[in-house]
Structure 1
């Protein structure tokens, strides 16, 4: 299957930072019910767009899948089955458990339903929602993307990439310039699906319900983030660059990302936060096409520049936090967050620490053991 690829411990640490960015976008420290000053409002908007941590995950997925599988890709059922087995073993067990846990919590207490819609569903709707969630299909439907464990919408995007990656890599391996064409082709497919979805919006439950939905929540609109990571991996294959001192590229990547976040915050300053949607097409351009360049620069700097940030992210504590970041991402909003707010603390730092401890426990005693069992099955 995958060759024994180099383990990039610094990028494992980056996963933790990306998850914490998403956490801060949801538990915004500058959120308040009363009026905010101009500075507070600007900081609130900036923290709100730290959801770009998801973009970091997408670029990282493109990079790691390409590094691990590009050279040993095979057109055989045995290879495909093993590849899919590894992907399912990595993603599905924890997602399944969190989804079921959310379902049980929602049934026991309607106030723990993240979408606040469960109590309005009839039995048929409830079965449909559970099916869409357990099969990763809910991310295609505007009406259901935030049902159950709401943050799981991004796994629909990830699974679309995992399914298409072997074919994309095979085509790129034959002719490298296709990496420039494939994003346009995928965007075209997304636009075609949107044409169908908008014509039958109510009948198809918001399936590809609008162009903005497609650009915001689907693989077809966000594929450039994955391709940016793929391009970095392919370039590294041919590069002879060696690690050295300095921090120019690392700083450039961080500044690039910060400027993109600031620009998005400005463009979306009038957007209703509760809607959880971007409204400005320029925002999509910044996040989907320009931001990934900064993320690639950051990855390059962390991989090839010897900096204090690299050394920090390579420590054992960040390695553990990075490995448990998937569990952290899945549980940081939803039933656990509601429970902490009701019975433990509403303090953001307190919740952050508790959720991290729970995520580490889940990684060590559930996620990692289940992955090893499922990935080793023949």
Structure 2
């Protein structure tokens, strides 16, 4: 089936990226509001890691929508496909990961290496995405970058998922097989002391593609449902708000589950894993179906040009919101706070510093991180993306190839 790229471009799906990144940001900095909110609200905010699931379902949808009807298991097709994936994901990840290890050289921040003896070797594990297979290394470097290992596994698997779905019509059995493969690896390696390589079931289910594959399959199934529909936004259904409400019902469920010892969220409870990986994925797919087929106030907000810009730069925001760049800002906020109070002492004043409140500092950082993300997107990420797609990297560029020029729903 031939797609109509311009007709099918849904800006709201780009806006969703910003929403997902901001939810993850809130989950990481909810502690700043400890004194202002009850414990139940704190628990609720801690489960906003759901932004990662939103990213995974969205990736499944976008890749399937764009490639399911056109993929070919040929060398040239794979080269073009991988070229597009590299252009989209790799340049900023490489540069920001390099920044993390340069930062380690000067600061010796143990969060970056987690005691790993060879920083250079760890750096190569990061830029090849393999660190995400090791429980003890998953939060090293750019901590949140573990999710890119999951994404890359999906990117490599997607053409084969599509092939088996078309050839054998056994689409629903695939996530079962993939998850069982993950369980088998845990049974094999759980007693091997190799930095936690598939070391336990919780790690496998929450931090690897084998455990989280259903989220991508939910997005793929959505693409198969809507790819032959006219996405004109004229549906009068209420799936947008129903899906949106169910997303936060799932958050509520996880927020009341007992937190296993040593963990920080109900997500790590076995029922939390089921809620996050399966119930939440279905709710997000329902929400996306509403955005694709209906016209609502929420869709208009997510489609706003500025929100769309935030969505385009949200990949960078996600990579920098936690780690050395935020720590750099936080250190300066503390320094400025001390300097201001020293100045007040000289003046004999008992005034308030704008940097004395954690909640305000988090807000300042949020604004600065967004500004930095937009700047890096405009000056580095977008130009490099276009340059790689137009280059002869992996395969000679074909200027008229819609793979390089499409402004359709962006994968």
TM-score greater than 0.5 by the shorter chain: yes
Aligned residue-pair number = 364
Equivalence for 2:99: 101
Instruction: Show the 5 A alignment for 1:39-78.
Output: 40-78=38-76
Among candidates 319, 326, 340, match of residue 337 of structure 1? 326
In 2, Cα distance between the equivalents of 1:209 and 1:3? 43
The gaps in structure 1 that reach 5 residues or longer are none
Distance 1:271 1:256, change over 3 A: farther
Equivalence for 1:267: 257
In 1, Cα distance between the equivalents of 2:48 and 2:382? 28
In 1, Cα distance between the equivalents of 2:27 and 2:258? 14
Computing the radius of gyration over CA atoms, which structure comes out larger, 1 or 2? Answer: 2
In 1, Cα distance between the equivalents of 2:290 and 2:386? 32
User: Does the 8 Å CA contact 2:260/2:269 hold for their aligned counterparts?
Assistant: no
Among candidates 168, 173, 195, match of residue 161 of structure 2? 168
Equivalence for 1:180: 172
Name segments (4+ residues, structure 1) moved above 3 Å: 2-5, 29-32, 113-116, 238-242, 268-274, 276-279
User: How many angstroms does 1:30 deviate by?
Assistant: 5.2
User: How many angstroms does 1:171 deviate by?
Assistant: 1.5
Equivalence for 1:194: 186
Deviations 1:51-80, CA, capped at 9 Å, x for gaps: 010000000000000011111111210000
User: Does the 8 Å CA contact 1:324/1:360 hold for their aligned counterparts?
Assistant: yes
What's the C-alpha RMSD, in Å, of the aligned pairs?
A: 2.0
Distance 1:273 1:121, change over 3 A: closer
In 1, Cα distance between the equivalents of 2:134 and 2:260? 25
User: How many angstroms does 1:245 deviate by?
Assistant: 6.0
User: Does the 8 Å CA contact 1:268/1:279 hold for their aligned counterparts?
Assistant: no
User: Does the 8 Å CA contact 1:30/1:44 hold for their aligned counterparts?
Assistant: no
Among candidates 279, 288, 291, match of residue 277 of structure 2? 288
In 2, Cα distance between the equivalents of 1:334 and 1:30? 16
Instruction: Find the residue that maps to 1:212 and give its secondary structure.
Output: helix
Instruction: Find the residue that maps to 2:38 and give its secondary structure.
Output: helix
Instruction: Show the 5 A alignment for 1:1-378.
Output: 5=5, 6-28=8-30, 31-32=33-34, 40-111=38-109, 113-115=110-112, 117=114, 120-122=115-117, 125-176=118-169, 178-200=170-192, 202=193, 204-239=194-229, 243-244=233-234, 246=236, 248-269=238-259, 272-273=262-263, 278-344=267-333, 346=358, 347-378=361-392
Instruction: Find the residue that maps to 1:143 and give its secondary structure.
Output: helix
Deviations 1:240-268, CA, capped at 9 Å, x for gaps: 67522656211111111111001011114
User: How many angstroms does 1:272 deviate by?
Assistant: 4.3
Instruction: Find the residue that maps to 2:268 and give its secondary structure.
Output: coil
